[in-house]
Copies of this chain bind each other. A is one copy, B any other.
Amino acid sequence: MSKAYEQLTTYLERAQAFQTAMVLFEWDNETLAPKEAGPYTSRMIGAISGEYYRVITDKEFKRFIEACKKDKSLSETEAAIVREAGEELEKLDCIPAEEYREFAQLCSESTRVWAKARKEKDFDAFVPTLKKVLDYQKRFASYRAKEGQKLYNVMLDTYEKGFDMETLDKFFAVLKEQLVPFLKKLMDSGVSIDDSFLTGDYPEEKQEEIGKYLAEYVGFDFNKGVMAVSAHPFTTNLHNHDVRITTAYNNHVDDSIFSVIHESGHGIYEMGIPDELTQTLVGQGTSMGMHESQSRFFENIIGRSQAFWKPVYPKLQEVFPGQLGDVSLEQFVKGINKVTPSLIRTQADEMTYSLHVLIRYEIEKMLVEEDLDVEKLPEVWADKYEEYLGVRPKDVAEGVLQDIHWSQGSFGYFPSYALGSAFGAQLYTYMKKHMDFEGLLETGKAGIRVIREFLRENIHQYGKLKTSRQILKDVTGEDFNPQYYVDYLVEKYSNVYGI
């Protein structure tokens, strides 16, 4: 190891410890911490994030990065770590310490303001805070923007390298032009699918039992992970030997089943990071989009297929004999694939999901690039829902205030959700040609293992050493192509609806 790299490493290890501590605080806060701990926890996270900033913007750190960049003896991984470190430095170093602190403080408050406004269905109460958060994010983006770079492109780059507005405009245009009319066709088909059996008396402990069973079944390793309960399901990880998923229980059994399989997909990605990379700057999933591709791959492409349920549905019936004993495999699979245009993104079905994202993408562009007046958001939002999904929110809680993201300053994050689905479909189309995908699912755990190994081999093991775009190219032999996603959806749902 070169001297400069070694010195850089000591800084990175300190930064990593702070990151890990913040992850743990956040996990704890969402899952277990007592009610009154909140404000104190925010202060702690604020303090630790200040320490992180302090390490990254240390003059010595900058000096070591410069030295490493000139060092030709670095391995490929080391060079990638230096590159990531440089990007992290660039991201933070251009923000004055004072503004960084103010923004961190603002964010922890603004999430509370948002939650209250949502609860009280009072958008006006959130407007001043949202304006401030947006202003900060625009300012930070302007600090980081390269000559002539659009601000929203700076934001997008944080979550998904190589996917700027030009690419995304094309992507979302494909969805809009083909999926919106297809959805209308489905809804006008007169076909009605029964999924009433998914709602009812599903005891929590039984849902937990089947949730853990399914997580393990798809490959979530409970020696390296845990599952807990939180208000909204999420995945987090301290490192590749400590990956954590959550779920929530209600009387819709499919909510917990598919959230568990979804989060397991995220978890399996992080468990697939090699020991050599974990807890380094390249030791995580490469992007939000690729992460979402894995979670949605497990949830939808694997988890909502008949082949998947064929060996495992009897187990589900065994746990819920009264509720599902009389429901056939075919009825069950149709039920879990019912399409219902709805108002809430996180409850959307596979077919309509990316239309929710399309709406957010269009609005974010307007907010950042066209200075849309924040006050007008509820109306713009409602109009777009009516146009694309045929439904109109009756209040802001089921409209513009449904997502936490903007309150946290996450502008540019949403597109990853739709990109992930599209990445997944492109990978699936390739995989189907080279393996008996459905046949593997029908053989149960052993078959899923083959699929999982393919994903590990081609995606997970690289961490951040490859971008999502590179991965797609290396695996499928071609650049990102959204048509696969549309074709996949149209084929699948034409079948489900028999049209």
Q: Which residues of A contact B (CB under 8 A)?
A: 13-14, 16-17, 20-21, 24-25, 28, 32-37, 40-41, 44, 47-48, 50-51, 222-226, 228, 238-239, 241-243, 279
Chain B residues with Cβ under 8 A from A228's Cβ?
32
Q: Complex Cα distance A254/B41, Å?
A: 35
So how many copies of this chain end up in the complex? Answer: 2
Which residue from chain B places its CB closest to the CB of A47 in the assembled complex? B17
Report yes or no: B17 in contact with A44, Cβ–Cβ below 8 A. Answer: yes
Q: Complex Cα distance A51/B16, Å?
A: 12
**A14-B47, A24-B28 given; A224·B36 CB < 8 A:** yes
Chain B residues with Cβ under 8 A from A41's Cβ?
238, 242
Report yes or no: B48 in contact with A223, Cβ–Cβ below 8 A. Answer: no
Which residue from chain B places its CB closest to the CB of A17 in the assembled complex? B47
Q: Complex Cα distance A44/B223, Å?
A: 19
Chain B residues with Cβ under 8 A from A24's Cβ?
21, 24-25, 28
Q: Complex Cα distance A119/B32, Å?
A: 32
Report yes or no: A223 in contact with B35, Cβ–Cβ below 8 A. Answer: yes
Report yes or no: B222 in contact with A17, Cβ–Cβ below 8 A. Answer: no
Q: Complex Cα distance A224/B39, Å?
A: 12
Q: Complex Cα distance A354/B58, Å?
A: 53
Report yes or no: A21 in contact with B36, Cβ–Cβ below 8 A. Answer: no
**A24-B28, A28-B24, A47-B14 given; A40·B238 CB < 8 A:** yes
**A25-B21, A28-B24 given; A241·B47 CB < 8 A:** no
11 contacts between A and B (CB under 8 A): A13-B47, A17-B48, A21-B25, A32-B228, A33-B226, A34-B224, A34-B243, A37-B224, A37-B242, A40-B242, A41-B238
Chain B residues with Cβ under 8 A from A243's Cβ?
34
Q: Complex Cα distance A48/B19, Å?
A: 11
Report yes or no: A28 in contact with B28, Cβ–Cβ below 8 A. Answer: yes
Chain B residues with Cβ under 8 A from A51's Cβ?
14, 17, 51
Q: Taking the nearest CB of chain B, how far is it from the CB of A115, in angstroms?
A: 18
Ranked nearest first, the 9 interchain pairs of A and B with the lowest CB-CB distance are A17-B47, A37-B242, A21-B21, A36-B241, A35-B223, A36-B224, A40-B239, A36-B223, A37-B241
Chain B residues with Cβ under 8 A from A36's Cβ?
223-224, 241-242
Most buried by B among A14, A21, A40, A243: A21
Q: Complex Cα distance A34/B279, Å?
A: 17
Chain B residues with Cβ under 8 A from A226's Cβ?
32-34
Chain B residues with Cβ under 8 A from A44's Cβ?
17, 20-21, 238
Chain B residues with Cβ under 8 A from A222's Cβ?
34
Report yes or no: A242 in contact with B47, Cβ–Cβ below 8 A. Answer: no
Report yes or no: A40 in contact with B223, Cβ–Cβ below 8 A. Answer: no
Report yes or no: B17 in contact with A223, Cβ–Cβ below 8 A. Answer: no
Q: Complex Cα distance A50/B13, Å?
A: 11
Q: Taking the nearest CB of chain B, how far is it from the CB of A70, in angstroms?
A: 28
Chain B residues with Cβ under 8 A from A33's Cβ?
226, 242
**A51-B51, A226-B32 given; A238·B20 CB < 8 A:** no
Extra contacts, 6 of them, besides A21-B21, A24-B28 (Cβ < 8 A), are: A16-B47, A32-B32, A34-B224, A36-B224, A37-B242, A44-B238
Chain B residues with Cβ under 8 A from A14's Cβ?
47, 50-51
**A13-B47, A14-B47, A40-B241 given; A223·B20 CB < 8 A:** no
Q: State which of B32, B37, B50, B238 has its C-beta within 8 Å of the C-beta of A37.
A: B238
Q: State which of B21, B34, B238, B279 has its C-beta within 8 Å of the C-beta of A242.
A: B34
Q: Taking the nearest CB of chain B, how far is it from the CB of A54, in angstroms?
A: 9
Which residue from chain B places its CB closest to the CB of A22 in the assembled complex? B21
Which residue from chain B places its CB closest to the CB of A39 in the assembled complex? B241
Q: State which of B35, B48, B50, B241 has its C-beta within 8 Å of the C-beta of A21.
A: B48
Chain B residues with Cβ under 8 A from A16's Cβ?
47
Chain B residues with Cβ under 8 A from A20's Cβ?
44
Q: Complex Cα distance A224/B28, Å?
A: 14
Which residue from chain B places its CB closest to the CB of A205 in the assembled complex? B205
Chain B residues with Cβ under 8 A from A279's Cβ?
40
Which residue from chain B places its CB closest to the CB of A45 in the assembled complex? B17
